[in-house]
Amino acid sequence: MKRSEFYLKARTLFMAVLMVSSSLILTNCGGGGNGENGKIEPEPVTPTISTKCELSTFQFKSTSNPGLVNSPTGVIATIQNRNLVLITVPESADLTKLVPTYNASDKSTVKMGGAAVTSGVTPVNFTGDVELVVTAEDGKHSKYYTVLVRKGNADIDAQVYSIMRKYNIPGIGVATTKNEKLAYTAGYGYAIIDQTPKVRATPTTLFRLASVSKFQCALCIMTLYEEGKLSPDDYVFAPAGANGPDSKEGILQSMYPGAHATGVDQIKVRHLLTHTSGWQYATTGGVDPIFTGDSRFYGKTLKQRVEYMVNTAVSNTPGSVYSYYNLGFCVLGQIVEKLTGGTYEAYLRQVEAKAGVTDVWIAKNSRAERRANEACYYAQQSTDAYQNDMAVVAACGAVIASPVDLMQVVCAEDYGTVVPDILKKETLDMMYTNYTSSGKGGYGFGWRIGHNTLTNWASYHGGNINGTGTIIVRGNNGVNGVLLCNSRSYIDDFDTALYVGLDAIMSLVKANY
């Protein structure tokens, strides 16, 4: 064989071997095996199993609920670490067989009341709390919600749901009157949310009032005035003759005898009622003698705190400068006790019984001591809702009452004729005079008088202590209202939200009831 032919045959054999080897390498690449027609199959992918278990929407569509004209939509909120769905349906709705439509995480399953349901199909009984559970595709992750359905006015209730969701408020009570008749009352969420069973809030649930207590203290003082037991111009601490040879001894002089600091003997009852005593928080270095951990006051009785103050010079001449001051109303409570010979609570109950209200009390210090129909209070931002001594706070901020009863009291002192007033017109005129401002937004006797922007408010008062936020309004258009919360937020606009919310509720009541 010629050398050229040998090389040609060798080269042909080499190329054949190379092609076979390449084919073997390609068909076995990645371990996928051969597909049809020699195609390469991809590596099989293990599907991802979802762990998501969120409820994103909840409503009662009119198409699934023929009795509903609109389609009420729920507010989903996390409040005090509990997931709630808050929703209002018309009064005509049949709560026993409402069909919910909802959206939950993809491939999750939903149960309500322990039974599987299908969105837009399965009717559910919503007469009580309904536990809704969303379980993820993996079967291991679940999220729990409580659905609270109530009958009412959805536009009004939306104002409250917004406050609850934004400010972490578990329970709210609302009551309104129009022309001195109850118009719209409601309880929202929970009076007690952290126990089993939870307790729903109602319009007759007792709430702490915080500084809304002050208008009731003024009511007691002006009742004593009509009984001839005091005058707003009586001195409080002064010895006889301290303010002129004929000046009388102060009402509490025997309780706080001896010489007092500069200006103290000039303080009158009216100065305490209007926050113009001359004492202010600046007097004690920015410290409130009632709500403080300051060593001068913490753990002391009310009498001991007042003893400290009567030996502290006033910052302004009594009657000259308005400066909100809680201690002044606590002293007014002492005046009530001195002149009646009983407790402040006993006289408060006696006065409000004239308005038909008997379920009004002074709060106790601990949760364990709360009354049977009283809300529990939930502090925020590491504060303690039960840190204050209510025996000290009493007349300035420790009254407890229900929204409905508060409206009854306001109607008994609002110049109306449907509910008889328990004070004379002339006495009411004294209470509702603006003593501290030439315009709106001043202070009368236990009431703020008018409002710079909320023009339908004749008088009002807000209140806050840890675990409590409140607002009450006597309107100038025939509508009164109150909103009480069993928690309070320390977000700066919380109090403004209460004011705006209640004003919107009262406007809706005016227009629709």
Higher pLDDT, 330 or 439: 330
Rounded mean pLDDT, 453-465: 97
Q: State the pLDDT at residue 9.
A: 52
Q: State the pLDDT at residue 253.
A: 98
Q: E strands along 152-214, which residues? A: 171-178, 181-192, 199-200, 207-208
Lowest mean pLDDT among 3-12, 332-341, 444-453: 3-12
**CB–CB of 347/322 below 8 Å?**
no
The predicted-structure confidence for 187-202, as pLDDT tens digits, reads as follows 999 999 999 999 999 9
Q: Mean pLDDT across the chain, nearest whole number?
A: 93
* Structure tokens, 201: 């809030």
Q: State the pLDDT at residue 439.
A: 83
Q: State the pLDDT at residue 24.
A: 38
**CB–CB of 95/149 below 8 Å?**
yes
Helix (H, G, I), strand (E, B) or coil at 174: strand
- Report strand pairing: 82-89 vs 142-151: parallel
What percent of the chain lies above the pLDDT cut of 90?
88
Lowest mean pLDDT among 29-33, 75-79, 87-91, 215-219: 29-33
The predicted-structure confidence for 235-275, as pLDDT tens digits, reads as follows 999 999 999 999 999 999 999 999 999 999 999 999 999 99
The DSSP element (H or E) to which 394 belongs, if any, is helix 390-397
Q: State the pLDDT at residue 67.
A: 87
**Bridge partners (DSSP) listed for residue 101:** 59
The pTM assigned to this predicted structure is: 0.91
Q: State the pLDDT at residue 43.
A: 74
Q: State the pLDDT at residue 244.
A: 95
Cα separation of 156 and 172, whole Å?
13
* Structure tokens, 389: 């001594």
Q: State the pLDDT at residue 28.
A: 41
Helix (H, G, I), strand (E, B) or coil at 199: strand
Q: State the pLDDT at residue 39.
A: 66
What percent of the chain lies above the pLDDT cut of 70?
92
How many angstroms separate the Cα of 260 from the Cα of each of 248, 249, 402? 16, 13, 40
Q: State the pLDDT at residue 465.
A: 94
Q: State the pLDDT at residue 494.
A: 97
Higher pLDDT, 230 or 13: 230
The predicted-structure confidence for 373-411, as pLDDT tens digits, reads as follows 999 999 998 889 999 999 999 999 999 999 999 999 999
pLDDT category, 41, cuts 50, 70, 90? confident
Rounded mean pLDDT, 408-429: 97
pLDDT at 428 over 90: yes
pLDDT at 25 over 60: no
Rounded mean pLDDT, 307-331: 98
The predicted-structure confidence for 104-156, as pLDDT tens digits, reads as follows 999 999 999 999 999 999 999 999 999 999 999 999 999 999 999 999 999 99
Q: State the pLDDT at residue 17.
A: 41
